[in-house]
Amino acid sequence: MFLTKKHLDRRTFLRGMGATVALPLLDAMIPARTLLALTAARPVPRLAFVYFPHGAIMDEWTAGGRILEPLAAFHDRLTIVSGLENRHAYGPVHAITPGTWLSATSARERGVTADQLAADHFGCDSPLPSIAVATEAPAKIGAGIWEGEYDASYGTTISFRRRGGSSDPPEPVPMEFRPRAVFDTLFPNDASGSTSVLDLIADDAASLRTRLGPADRSLLGDYLEAVRDIERRVDEVRLRPASFGGSDTFKDRMALMFDMIAVAFRADITRVASMMMAAEASTMTYEHLGVPDSFHALSHHQNDPEKLDKLVRIQTFHTSMFATFIRTLAALPDGDGSIFDRSLILFGSNMSNSHAHDHYPLPLAVAGGGCGRHRGGQHLRYPDRTPIANLLLTLLRRAEVPVQSIGDSTGECAEL
């Protein structure tokens, strides 16, 4: 460990020519002869909510099924949660399914979502209260006979935050699907797109290196290279359409969004993230899986074995991308653990059987160490139709967000 009489502040940034780059935790940010719990290296929770549309083939979701196989390596930090329902998602189907997932509140009544309750609590400790990202642009979803009764944004976002006045109804948080816009939010740059952010802060980075020990110099170098790699990929994806084609651009965009959440958690730019892996009622095709069908059209499977198999392939692919994300988090150091050790991540959907358009039993899983507050290695089966709000309440409390209730919660999910 590199020790100095005056350690670096945890909120040290690299700056230059209108660009700002936050730093990961360095040994130089930890004062000597100080209890870990009183330093910047103390365990700090990160919360992520990762949503996939169109439910899951439930026979293939639970233990022994194909969909969760990619997460086998993380069994000890994974909990499958069964028996939960969101009764507030019934109605105009896709038009309100995403927007009610994290609030467990009627779209008519509106409610602040779990991610934004966490952002309200953690926001003052990080540059950004939260980030909300998506892999593809949302499309307007008709509400049929309910048209005009609900905010159209309920089909395009999973996140709603408080407005300026506490008595005002919550407002939607747009899910940013443009990789360049996300990158520029994380690493502000007045010359965005024309000059690499790392070139602009190069002088400041060189100056900082002279103040660091060998281990910190190596860690800083690896981190800046990771940022440069993300920036390069952002520029590559921007030049290609958001479809698979021959270059698997959709897959690349999804990987980029996950990597940007990871780097944001690592540099403590934010402690709360939400992601839509695909748009609600997505027409995306998955040729690289041998599935040329539109995702949404395929979700109306009518119990056809061929269609069911194709859906399982798509859903397993989504899980494999999520598994890569948490593998990345597990490899990122944070104090005496990893970012994954600190994280609580909800992975799931607000729909069950996509052909029936029902919302029970929901496919849900919790991953991460939660700063030692998540047991993992279990499949918890709760009484039929337990409100999903109970799980949201539990996750918030495990992250030490002081909430009394959320939506129609009736209490915590025991044993999680």
Does residue 194 sit in the same domain as residue 342? no
Does residue 34 sit in the same domain as residue 78? no
- Looking at the structure of the chain, the number of domains it has is 2
Does residue 203 sit in the same domain as residue 108? no
Q: Which of 186, 11, 37, 46 is nearest to 118 (CA)?
A: 46
> 22 or 147: which carries more pLDDT confidence?
22
Tokens of 292: 């040329």
Using the predicted structure, report yes or no on whether residue 270 has a pLDDT greater than 70. Answer: yes
φ and ψ at residue 365, rounded to 5 degrees = -145, 145
Whether 1 maps to a domain, the answer reads: yes
Query: Are the C-beta atoms of 360 and 62 separated by less than 8 Å?
Result: no
Query: Would you state the pLDDT for residue 243?
Result: 47
Tokens of 96: 């309100």
Query: Would you state the pLDDT for residue 8?
Result: 83
Does residue 211 sit in the same domain as residue 96? no
Using the predicted structure, report yes or no on whether residue 390 has a pLDDT greater than 70. Answer: yes
Whether 182 maps to a domain, the answer reads: no
Does residue 50 sit in the same domain as residue 22? no
Whether 282 maps to a domain, the answer reads: yes
Does residue 138 sit in the same domain as residue 271? yes
For the segment 18-38, the average pLDDT, to the nearest whole number, is: 79
How many degrees, rounded to 5, is the angle at CA 43 between CA 39 and CA 48? 135
Whether 404 maps to a domain, the answer reads: no
- pLDDT per residue as tens digits for the range 285-333: 999 899 999 999 999 999 999 999 999 999 999 999 999 999 999 999 9
Residues in the chain: 416
Report how far residue 339's alpha carbon sits from residue 196's, in angstroms, rounded to the nearest whole number.
Answer: 26
Does residue 261 sit in the same domain as residue 318? yes
Query: Are the C-beta atoms of 362 and 84 separated by less than 8 Å?
Result: yes
Query: Would you state the pLDDT for residue 1?
Result: 32
Does residue 368 sit in the same domain as residue 319? yes
Picking from 121-130, 158-167, 259-268, which range would have the lowest pLDDT averaged per residue? 158-167
Report how far residue 73's alpha carbon sits from residue 199's, in angstroms, rounded to the nearest whole number.
Answer: 38
pLDDT-derived band of residue 132, with 50, 70 and 90 as boundaries?
very high
- pLDDT per residue as tens digits for the range 222-231: 999 999 999 9
The share of the chain scoring above pLDDT 70, in percent, equals 93
Whether 414 maps to a domain, the answer reads: no
Whether 199 maps to a domain, the answer reads: yes
pLDDT-derived band of residue 410, with 50, 70 and 90 as boundaries?
very high
Query: Would you state the pLDDT for residue 245?
Result: 42
Query: Would you state the pLDDT for residue 43?
Result: 85
Q: Is 359 helix (H, G, I), strand (E, B) or coil?
A: coil
Domain coverage including residue 193: 1-42+187-241
Does residue 51 sit in the same domain as residue 119? yes
> 225 or 244: which carries more pLDDT confidence?
225
> 272 or 38: which carries more pLDDT confidence?
272
Whether 413 maps to a domain, the answer reads: no
Pairing state between β 272-276 and 46-51: parallel
Does residue 4 sit in the same domain as residue 83? no
Query: Are the C-beta atoms of 395 and 114 separated by less than 8 Å?
Result: yes
Does residue 166 sit in the same domain as residue 61? yes
Q: Is the dihedral of CA 99, 100, 106, 109 positive or negative?
A: negative
Q: Which of 333, 366, 334 is nearest to 48 (CA)?
A: 366
Using CA atoms in the order 285, 178, 134, 266, what is the torsion angle rounded to 10 degrees? 130
For the segment 94-116, the average pLDDT, to the nearest whole number, is: 96
Q: What is the CATH number of the domain that holds 121?
A: 3.40.720
CA atoms within 13 A on the CB side of 163: 9
- pLDDT per residue as tens digits for the range 169-224: 899 999 999 999 999 999 998 876 678 999 999 999 999 999 999 999 999 999 99
Whether 330 maps to a domain, the answer reads: yes
